[in-house]
Amino acid sequence: MKPTVVLVGRPNVGKSTLFNRLTKTRDALVADLPGLTRDRHYGHGRVGSRPYLVVDTGGFEPVVDEGIMFEMARQTLQAIDEADAVVFIVDGRVGITPQDKIIANRLRQSDRPVCVAVNKVEGMNENVVTADFHELGLGEPVAISAAHGEGVRHLINDVLAHFPEAEEEPEDKHPKFAVVGRPNVGKSTLVNAILGEERVIAFDAPGTTRDSIYIGFERNGHNYTIIDTAGVRRRSKVDDAIEKFSVIKTMKAIEDANVAVLVLDATQDVSDQDARVAGFVLETGRALVVAINKWEVATEEQRDRIKREIARKLAFLDFAKFHYISALQGKGVGDLFASIDQAYAAAMIKIPTPKLTRVLQLALERQQPPLSGRIRPKLRYAHQGGSNPPVVVVHGNALENVPASYWRYLEHTFMKLFKLQGTPLRVQFKKSE
Ligand code: GDP
Ligand code: GDP
């Protein structure tokens, strides 16, 4: 599993600058799509071949910031609790402040690994600037300049050293799907409807409260694993308490699934939170099925409205199938599985190089990439570079001149001609030798 790294520190130390630097390269993979709003607090990072998730706690909610009255925001504490590691950022030009000490105390009580990043020290002597910060009692500080990128790789390598390099996972032979969405849309009801019908093979041992629950089951002779982010089976034990919405838990579940089932509430507007979860699915590249729940109680007016809002706010999910269901009555659940199977198959497809290259040629015959100045990009052949999502690597020359619109055209052509439904597909360019 990808580790989740949370960035904490008092205001103005450079959290969002570091966040932007860590997530920049990944961001570029998903060109701007209509309606897609990026959550500037949660993102994907990668060093070398190692991916991780990163959370910027800056601006989560106002903090009381008066010296020793400093309080970390509730959401920040929740994030620390749910993350795998913490980067504690301090300002190397200011030195240790009372707020830093309060944060350090908190972090020493948590059982997460912590790395102290001494920021804004571009051009300064590493050993000198970090010396003072040993006093925080959180190990060897790392000198960085988030703005200039100095020391950032070193920092992340230190953080990731706490986690064993993920071995090449044996390929999952059956769909693993996560039921995600904001609170009260009906996730638990849906999970119960699904499991109520089916023979449940095995329950995983209940994890800690910060984890989703994995349940394996069989349906019509096929195996599935459901990732239950709502924690239905746990909830009964914990006094039926409604769990707080956890973005980190949702992110991790989406990461770990092959297919996300995004649940929306037909009687409500499509909220920013819905759009963010949807955006995260797309960025992660997971296959997707959308379930618009509570359809049986939605009025004509509400039905029209949610369809309009989906078209407007979730236009970037046009690769996914939409289902109108009633989890409460168990209606539409069977059809949902047809789409989960289809999305899974599309996400895992293996296409041989000659077939991909033929479709590339076809796409080129229909429409050439536009000239850029006097240069026309030359696209030669294509091979598959990955699955879930399928990645098509196109080899050629002058590829930096291919505009985003043509990129999209290629993606659409591959998706259409290979009849991929339910998964995004990514085209990458690679310079021919
Ligand atoms: P946050 O409140 O912790 O998210 O801090 P920001 O990322 O918004 O940064 C606060 C200020 O510090 C901004 O003016 C940044 O430009 C500046 N800053 C961030 N990183 C560096 C750095 O590495 N060097 C210098 N000199 N300034 C930085
Ligand atoms: P979660 O927070 O997303 O897990 O949502 P729950 O499954 O706990 O459902 C929230 C509320 O919506 C509960 O009162 C459910 O009974 C209700 N609910 C869930 N699915 C449906 C549905 O299909 N129709 C109707 N009318 N209510 C539903």
CA 184–ligand 2 middle distance (angstroms): 6
CA 37–ligand 1 middle distance (angstroms): 23
Is residue 185 in contact with ligand 2, taking CB distance under 6 Å?
A: yes
Tell me if 291 is assigned to a ligand binding site. Answer: no
CA 268–ligand 2 middle distance (angstroms): 12
Task: List phi, psi (to 5°) of 79.
Answer: -65, -40
Buried b (16+ CB within 10 A) or exposed e, 145-175: bbeeebbbebbbebbbeebeeeeeeeeeeeb
Question: Helix 247-256 crosses helix 74-82 at what angle (to 10 degrees)?
Answer: 30
Q: Which residues fall within 8 angstroms of residue 258, CB to CB, at 6 or more apart?
A: 172, 175, 176, 177, 286, 287, 344, 347, 348, 388
Task: Indicate which atom in ligand 1 lies nearest the CA of residue 10.
Answer: 3
Task: Indicate which atom in ligand 1 lies nearest the CA of residue 11.
Answer: 2
Pocket test for ligand 1, best of 6, 8, 12 (most atoms within 8 A of CB): 12
Is residue 193 in contact with ligand 2, taking CB distance under 6 Å?
A: no
Is residue 17 in contact with ligand 1, taking CB distance under 6 Å?
A: yes
CA 309–ligand 2 middle distance (angstroms): 21
Pocket test for ligand 1, best of 7, 8, 17 (most atoms within 8 A of CB): 17
pLDDT at residue 167, as a whole number: 65
Is residue 122 in contact with ligand 1, taking CB distance under 6 Å?
A: yes
Kindly tell me the sign of the dihedral angle through the C-alpha atoms of 254, 257, 260, 261.
negative
CA 186–ligand 2 middle distance (angstroms): 4
Nearest-CA residue for ligand 1 atom 9 is 14
pLDDT at residue 73, as a whole number: 82
The DSSP H or E segment spanning 183 is: none
Q: Which residues fall within 8 angstroms of residue 308, CB to CB, at 6 or more apart?
A: none
CA 22–ligand 1 middle distance (angstroms): 14
CA 46–ligand 1 middle distance (angstroms): 21
Task: Indicate which atom in ligand 1 lies nearest the CA of residue 18.
Answer: 7
Tell me if 101 is assigned to a ligand binding site. Answer: no
Is residue 57 in contact with ligand 1, taking CB distance under 6 Å?
A: no
Task: Indicate which atom in ligand 1 lies nearest the CA of residue 93.
Answer: 26
The alpha carbons of the chain give a radius of gyration, in whole angstroms, of: 23
Q: Which residues fall within 8 angstroms of residue 349, CB to CB, at 6 or more apart?
A: 387, 390, 418, 420
pLDDT at residue 359, as a whole number: 96
pLDDT at residue 63, as a whole number: 73
pLDDT in tens, 406-422: 988 999 999 999 999 99
Per the listing, tokens 């001149």 go with 401
Tell me if 294 is assigned to a ligand binding site. Answer: no
Is residue 151 in contact with ligand 1, taking CB distance under 6 Å?
A: no
Bridge partners (DSSP) of residue 45 are 52
pLDDT-flagged residues of the chain (< 50): 27, 201-209, 233-243
Nearest-CA residue for ligand 2 atom 19 is 186
Question: Helix 333-348 crosses helix 187-197 at what angle (to 10 degrees)?
Answer: 90
Question: Helix 98-109 crosses helix 74-82 at what angle (to 10 degrees)?
Answer: 40
Count of H-run helices and E-run strands, the chain: 13, 16
